Structure formats: C-alpha cells, structure tokens
Amino acid sequence: MRTIVVGISDMKASNNPEDVLITYSLGSCLGLILYDPIAQVAGMLHCMLPLSAIDPQKARQTPCMFVDTGVPLLFREVYALGAQKQRIIVKAVGCSSLLDEKEFFRIGERNFTVLRKLLWKNNILIEKQDIGGNISRTVSIAVETGRVIVKSGGRETEL
C-alpha cells in the first residue's frame, strides 16, 4: 500500500489500487473526494478559499487553492484516468469555522456554497458529507475499495 499525501492547495488522483489518498487538518478548507467504482479511480482536492477572483494571479499559479478553479481541475484529472461522470461518487469534508468563532469571514461556509453551486450547475450531487462545525478533520480514500475514512477528535468514521 502506498500513501499519497494531498497538501493544502493541492490535488491528487490515482487509478492504482495500491494507493490511498489522504489529506490532513481540514479546518475551513474543503476536502473533495471523487470516486468511480467501475474504473477504480479516486481523486482528492484540498482547497482553502472559495473564489479565485480575489487573486487571479495566484489562481493561475495555484488553481487548487480555490474551490471554483480546483474542482473543475480535479474532475478533468479523474476523467483523464478513466472515470465517467455518471458513475462518480462525490463526498465532501471540512468547511468548519475552526478559526472563525465569531463567523466573521465564514470561509468554510462559503467554500461549501461555491462547491454546491458548481456541482448543481453540472447536475452532480454530493452523496455524503462531513461538513461544518468547529473541528479539524483528516480524510483518506482507498483507491481499490473507495472506502473513505474521516478522523477527528480521536474518532474514526466511514463516510
């Protein structure tokens, strides 16, 4: 088994059944997981901010930093590995208000809103989610099985 770490403002995709994709410390960031069970293709995105319009130059350099530019990129990557839109299972994790207790910036909430709008425009539904609250999460997906595990506060749950 090979563990592939998805860093902040990063994405990875794999069709190798030996791989496990994992990202750590999702606070207000969005963790998006895509899986095609027939092609055994998994993809994961860890993005920080909702809209690339706040810094177009940064979005060109690091498109996975933003939900609106990272999500389409992840879909293109899993399609390139053989995934098909009608079979993709979508799961979302994170988007908490961990560092925004007064909810002034509402980055987590805005990240999730932009994701939902993007998916809705493309007729794609989120199958499962672990969103919001004020906790940090780590999430992983096993390419062979599509099993998604969320770890937070010493607990481990399957999503």
Query: What pLDDT, in 10s, does the model give residues 3-55?
Result: 999 999 999 999 999 999 999 999 999 999 999 999 999 999 999 999 999 99
Question: Rounded distance, CA 40 to CA 54, Å?
Answer: 36
Q: What would the pLDDT profile of 111-145 be if each residue is shown by its tens digit?
A: 999 999 999 999 999 999 999 998 999 999 999 99
| Phi, psi angle pair for 74, to nearest 5° | -65, -45
Report whether 88 contacts 35 (CB < 8 A): yes
Containing structural domain, residue 46: 2-158
Contacts for 123 with CB less than 8 Å, ≥ 6 apart: none
pTM over 0.75: yes
Q: In what order do the strands lie in the sheet with 2-5?
A: 2-5, 19-26, 137-142, 148-152, 155-158
pLDDT band at 97 (very low <50, low <70, confident <90, very high): confident
Catalytic residue, candidates 29, 47, 64, 95: 29
pLDDT at 68: 98
Q: Count how many domains the chain has.
A: 1
- Give the mean model confidence (pLDDT) for residues 84-109: 84
**What is the widest separation between alpha-carbon atoms in the chain?**
44
* Catalytic status, residue 64: no
CATH code for position 69: 3.30.1330.200
